[in-house]
Amino acid sequence: MKPFSGFPANMQFTPVPNLFMNMLMPGMDSPELKCMLYIFQTIYGKKGAPRFATLSELLSNPSLTAGLHPDGKSAELQIKDALSSAMARGAIISIDVTQEGKQESLFFLNTSSEREAVEQIKSGKLKLPKIEIVKAAVKPVEQENIFTLYEQNIGMLTPMTSEEIKDALTQYPEDWLRDAIRESVNANKRNWRYIERILERWTTEGKKDGTHQRDDQKDNTDKYTQGAYGHLIKR
């Protein structure tokens, strides 16, 4: 490697916050530290506000990519991992956007003014040229699997219990099983037999919500009208 010839008299400087030097840098590994230094360089080389570095700028920086030692990971993966670490540390914040139709991530220093700018960008109050915020898709809330619900609230799911639950699902509505599990937890009777007795009781006596309730009055009437002297009893 050719030795460095020294700094010239007139050169540009990149500001680095003292708090970064004293609080954050000591805990950073080499890729994370290098990414942060190039983020400072990119951000402070721009004019206007808010100032940010894009993932594309960092990935295309030859000085940054050349300075990462190969460890089985590509330079891109090392940079992405380093940025994730820096965000978890609280050094930077980011938002995902589309820039000129392409997916992009913007990285800001974690300062009060930049946090406010990020919130304004997300809300649409602050518009950046050729940049649109990526809105996360709203996922439907998935109901917990009945077997997972049992394991999390009652106990380990054995093969035998698993088969009994499958059989119960053919006899009772799934909501009944969920409610029966909750009732057993409330009663501190965490076992399948207790849950099964709850289901049997609801089948016989009716559930509080009135579903699947047997007509006891009809059953009692039939007991008398269908006997040997049923023809003598008026309905």
Query: What are the residue ranges spanned by the domains of the chain?
Result: 18-133, 146-232
Distance, in Å, from the CA atom of 59 to the CA atom of 108, rounded to the nearest integer, reads 16
Tell me the three state secondary structure of residue 46.
coil
Q: Are strands 131-133 and 102-109 parallel, antiparallel or unpaired?
A: unpaired
The answer to whether the CB of 191 falls within 8 A of the CB of 184 is yes
Query: Does this model's pTM top 0.85?
Result: no
Inter-residue long-range contacts of 56-61, CB under 8 Å, 24+ positions, other chains counted: 56/104, 58/83, 58/107
Asked if residue 91 lies in contact with residue 25, where contact means CB atoms within 8 angstroms, the answer is: no
pLDDT at residue 220, rounded to an integer: 46
Residue 106's SS3 state is strand
- Residue 63's alpha-carbon distances to 140, 222, 225, in angstroms, are 44, 90, 95
Note the pLDDT of residue 3. Answer: 83
Least confident of 14-18, 45-49, 230-234: 230-234
Residue 136's pLDDT is what? 57
- Which amino acid does the sequence have at 4? F
Q: What is the CATH number of domain 18-133?
A: 1.10.10
Mean pLDDT within 37-65: 93
The string of pLDDT tens digits covering residues 84-139 is: 999 998 999 999 999 888 899 999 999 999 999 999 998 889 998 888 887 655 55
Helix (H, G, I), strand (E, B) or coil at 130: coil
Q: Which residues contact 46 (CB under 8 A, 6 or more apart)?
A: none
Residue with tokens 């380990």: 156
Taking the C-alpha atoms of residue 98 and residue 92, their distance in angstroms, rounded to an integer, is 20
Confidence of residue 210 (pLDDT cuts 50, 70, 90): very low
